[in-house]
Amino acid sequence: MMFAVMQNTGLRPLEQVQEQASSIASRGSRPASLWWTCADDVWDSALESITPERSAIRLSTPRLKGPEAIVQVQEALDYSVQDIGVQHLVLCGHSRCSGLHSAPKTASNSDAHVNPLVRGVMRREKENRDAQSALLQNLRLIADCSTVANAVAAGTLTLHAIFYLAESGVFLRFDEVGSKFVSFD
Ligand SMILES: [Zn+2]
Protein backbone atom coordinates (compact mmCIF):
# COMPACT_ATOMS: atom_id res chain seq x y z
CA MET A 1 0.00 0.00 0.00
CA MET A 2 1.33 3.36 -1.00
CA PHE A 3 -0.20 5.47 1.72
CA ALA A 4 0.18 4.50 5.32
CA VAL A 5 -3.33 5.70 6.14
CA MET A 6 -5.64 5.46 3.17
CA GLN A 7 -9.01 5.71 4.80
CA ASN A 8 -10.54 8.64 6.59
CA THR A 9 -9.60 7.56 10.07
CA GLY A 10 -11.11 10.38 12.10
CA LEU A 11 -7.67 11.35 13.39
CA ARG A 12 -6.85 15.02 13.78
CA PRO A 13 -4.68 16.43 10.96
CA LEU A 14 -1.50 16.53 13.05
CA GLU A 15 -2.12 12.97 14.27
CA GLN A 16 -2.64 11.77 10.71
CA VAL A 17 0.72 13.21 9.68
CA GLN A 18 2.57 11.89 12.74
CA GLU A 19 1.13 8.40 12.39
CA GLN A 20 2.00 8.12 8.71
CA ALA A 21 5.43 9.66 9.18
CA SER A 22 6.33 7.09 11.81
CA SER A 23 4.95 4.29 9.65
CA ILE A 24 7.11 5.48 6.73
CA ALA A 25 10.10 5.82 9.04
CA SER A 26 9.62 2.25 10.25
CA ARG A 27 10.07 1.13 6.63
CA GLY A 28 13.41 2.91 6.56
CA SER A 29 12.23 5.78 4.41
CA ARG A 30 11.31 9.39 5.01
CA PRO A 31 8.22 11.30 3.85
CA ALA A 32 8.88 13.41 0.78
CA SER A 33 5.45 14.82 0.08
CA LEU A 34 2.21 15.76 1.75
CA TRP A 35 -1.07 15.43 -0.15
CA TRP A 36 -3.98 17.38 1.28
CA THR A 37 -7.32 15.99 0.13
CA CYS A 38 -10.94 16.05 1.18
CA ALA A 39 -12.32 13.07 3.06
CA ASP A 40 -14.20 11.69 0.03
CA ASP A 41 -13.25 8.09 -0.75
CA VAL A 42 -12.62 9.00 -4.41
CA TRP A 43 -9.00 9.59 -3.32
CA ASP A 44 -8.47 6.10 -1.94
CA SER A 45 -7.75 4.77 -5.41
CA ALA A 46 -7.05 8.03 -7.28
CA LEU A 47 -3.97 8.88 -5.22
CA GLU A 48 -2.40 5.49 -5.83
CA SER A 49 -2.43 6.17 -9.56
CA ILE A 50 -0.74 9.54 -9.35
CA THR A 51 1.70 9.39 -6.46
CA PRO A 52 5.17 8.54 -7.70
CA GLU A 53 6.84 7.58 -4.46
CA ARG A 54 6.09 5.30 -1.54
CA SER A 55 6.78 7.97 1.01
CA ALA A 56 3.77 10.20 0.56
CA ILE A 57 1.56 11.33 3.39
CA ARG A 58 -2.14 11.89 2.89
CA LEU A 59 -3.80 14.49 5.02
CA SER A 60 -7.58 14.44 4.71
CA THR A 61 -10.10 16.89 6.12
CA PRO A 62 -13.89 17.04 5.70
CA ARG A 63 -13.89 20.70 4.75
CA LEU A 64 -11.62 22.21 2.15
CA LYS A 65 -12.95 25.69 1.68
CA GLY A 66 -12.08 28.99 3.29
CA PRO A 67 -9.62 30.27 5.87
CA GLU A 68 -11.02 27.98 8.60
CA ALA A 69 -10.00 24.99 6.47
CA ILE A 70 -6.43 26.30 6.55
CA VAL A 71 -6.57 26.82 10.31
CA GLN A 72 -7.48 23.19 10.90
CA VAL A 73 -4.43 21.94 8.98
CA GLN A 74 -1.99 24.64 10.10
CA GLU A 75 -0.33 22.54 12.79
CA ALA A 76 -0.04 19.56 10.46
CA LEU A 77 1.50 21.71 7.72
CA ASP A 78 4.01 23.31 10.08
CA TYR A 79 4.99 19.90 11.41
CA SER A 80 5.34 18.45 7.90
CA VAL A 81 7.44 21.32 6.62
CA GLN A 82 9.54 22.10 9.71
CA ASP A 83 9.93 18.81 11.52
CA ILE A 84 9.68 16.29 8.68
CA GLY A 85 11.00 18.48 5.89
CA VAL A 86 8.67 17.37 3.10
CA GLN A 87 9.74 18.73 -0.28
CA HIS A 88 6.32 18.85 -1.90
CA LEU A 89 2.97 20.08 -0.71
CA VAL A 90 0.16 19.00 -3.01
CA LEU A 91 -3.34 20.44 -2.71
CA CYS A 92 -5.88 18.08 -4.22
CA GLY A 93 -9.35 18.97 -5.47
CA HIS A 94 -11.85 17.02 -7.53
CA SER A 95 -15.14 17.29 -9.37
CA ARG A 96 -18.38 16.90 -7.38
CA CYS A 97 -16.59 17.31 -4.07
CA SER A 98 -18.80 17.07 -1.00
CA GLY A 99 -16.21 19.04 0.99
CA LEU A 100 -16.85 22.18 -1.03
CA HIS A 101 -20.62 22.46 -1.00
CA SER A 102 -21.75 25.57 0.76
CA ALA A 103 -25.22 26.45 -0.53
CA PRO A 104 -27.87 24.22 -2.12
CA LYS A 105 -27.95 24.49 -5.89
CA THR A 106 -30.91 26.39 -7.32
CA ALA A 107 -31.62 26.69 -11.03
CA SER A 108 -31.30 30.20 -12.32
CA ASN A 109 -34.29 31.60 -14.22
CA SER A 110 -32.12 32.72 -17.11
CA ASP A 111 -31.25 29.06 -17.77
CA ALA A 112 -34.88 27.99 -18.11
CA HIS A 113 -34.85 28.03 -21.91
CA VAL A 114 -31.69 25.93 -22.17
CA ASN A 115 -31.90 22.24 -23.06
CA PRO A 116 -31.70 20.18 -19.81
CA LEU A 117 -28.74 18.17 -21.08
CA VAL A 118 -26.80 21.32 -21.93
CA ARG A 119 -27.85 22.84 -18.64
CA GLY A 120 -26.41 19.83 -16.82
CA VAL A 121 -23.09 20.19 -18.62
CA MET A 122 -23.00 23.94 -17.95
CA ARG A 123 -23.75 23.39 -14.27
CA ARG A 124 -21.00 20.78 -13.96
CA GLU A 125 -18.51 23.07 -15.70
CA LYS A 126 -19.38 25.86 -13.31
CA GLU A 127 -19.02 23.51 -10.33
CA ASN A 128 -15.57 22.52 -11.55
CA ARG A 129 -14.53 26.14 -12.05
CA ASP A 130 -15.75 26.96 -8.53
CA ALA A 131 -13.94 23.96 -7.06
CA GLN A 132 -10.75 24.91 -8.88
CA SER A 133 -10.86 28.50 -7.68
CA ALA A 134 -11.44 27.29 -4.10
CA LEU A 135 -8.35 25.12 -4.50
CA LEU A 136 -6.29 28.06 -5.74
CA GLN A 137 -7.56 30.21 -2.89
CA ASN A 138 -6.23 27.57 -0.47
CA LEU A 139 -2.96 27.47 -2.37
CA ARG A 140 -2.54 31.22 -1.89
CA LEU A 141 -3.49 31.04 1.80
CA ILE A 142 -1.01 28.23 2.40
CA ALA A 143 1.71 30.04 0.47
CA ASP A 144 1.27 32.93 2.89
CA CYS A 145 1.83 30.79 6.02
CA SER A 146 5.23 31.76 7.37
CA THR A 147 6.59 28.21 7.66
CA VAL A 148 5.61 27.45 4.09
CA ALA A 149 6.72 30.82 2.74
CA ASN A 150 10.15 30.42 4.36
CA ALA A 151 10.66 26.91 2.97
CA VAL A 152 9.57 27.97 -0.51
CA ALA A 153 11.90 30.97 -0.37
CA ALA A 154 14.74 28.68 0.75
CA GLY A 155 14.07 26.41 -2.22
CA THR A 156 13.35 23.36 -0.05
CA LEU A 157 9.60 23.21 -0.70
CA THR A 158 7.43 23.30 -3.81
CA LEU A 159 3.67 23.87 -3.84
CA HIS A 160 1.33 22.13 -6.26
CA ALA A 161 -2.39 22.04 -6.97
CA ILE A 162 -4.04 19.15 -8.79
CA PHE A 163 -7.65 18.68 -9.83
CA TYR A 164 -9.14 15.26 -10.48
CA LEU A 165 -12.03 14.86 -12.93
CA ALA A 166 -13.57 11.83 -11.28
CA GLU A 167 -16.01 11.08 -14.14
CA SER A 168 -13.22 10.69 -16.68
CA GLY A 169 -10.32 9.72 -14.43
CA VAL A 170 -8.28 12.66 -15.72
CA PHE A 171 -5.85 14.62 -13.54
CA LEU A 172 -5.16 18.30 -14.15
CA ARG A 173 -2.32 20.24 -12.61
CA PHE A 174 -2.17 23.97 -12.04
CA ASP A 175 0.31 25.61 -14.34
CA GLU A 176 1.57 28.83 -12.78
CA VAL A 177 3.03 30.16 -15.99
CA GLY A 178 -0.22 29.86 -17.92
CA SER A 179 -2.20 30.44 -14.72
CA LYS A 180 -4.63 27.63 -15.51
CA PHE A 181 -5.25 23.93 -14.97
CA VAL A 182 -3.72 21.76 -17.68
CA SER A 183 -3.46 18.01 -18.22
CA PHE A 184 -0.36 16.11 -17.23
CA ASP A 185 2.02 15.54 -20.14
ZN1 LIG B 1 -14.14 15.76 -2.12
Residues 176, 83, 161, CA angle at the centre, nearest 5°? 20
CATH number for the domain running over 13-99+111-183: 3.40.1050.10
Question: How far does residue 66's CA lie from ligand 1's centre (Å)?
Answer: 14
Map out the domains of the chain as residue ranges.
Answer: 13-99+111-183
Question: How far does residue 53's CA lie from ligand 1's centre (Å)?
Answer: 23
Question: How far does residue 59's CA lie from ligand 1's centre (Å)?
Answer: 13
Question: How far does residue 39's CA lie from ligand 1's centre (Å)?
Answer: 6
Question: How far does residue 82's CA lie from ligand 1's centre (Å)?
Answer: 27
- pLDDT tens track, the chain, 185 positions: 455 444 556 789 999 999 999 999 998 988 999 999 998 989 988 888 887 667 899 999 987 777 788 889 999 999 999 999 999 999 999 998 887 765 455 556 666 788 888 998 899 999 999 999 999 999 999 999 999 999 999 999 999 999 999 989 999 999 988 899 999 87
Question: How far does residue 72's CA lie from ligand 1's centre (Å)?
Answer: 16
Q: What is the DSSP string of 35-67?
A: EEEES-THHHHHHHHH--STTEEEEEES--SSH
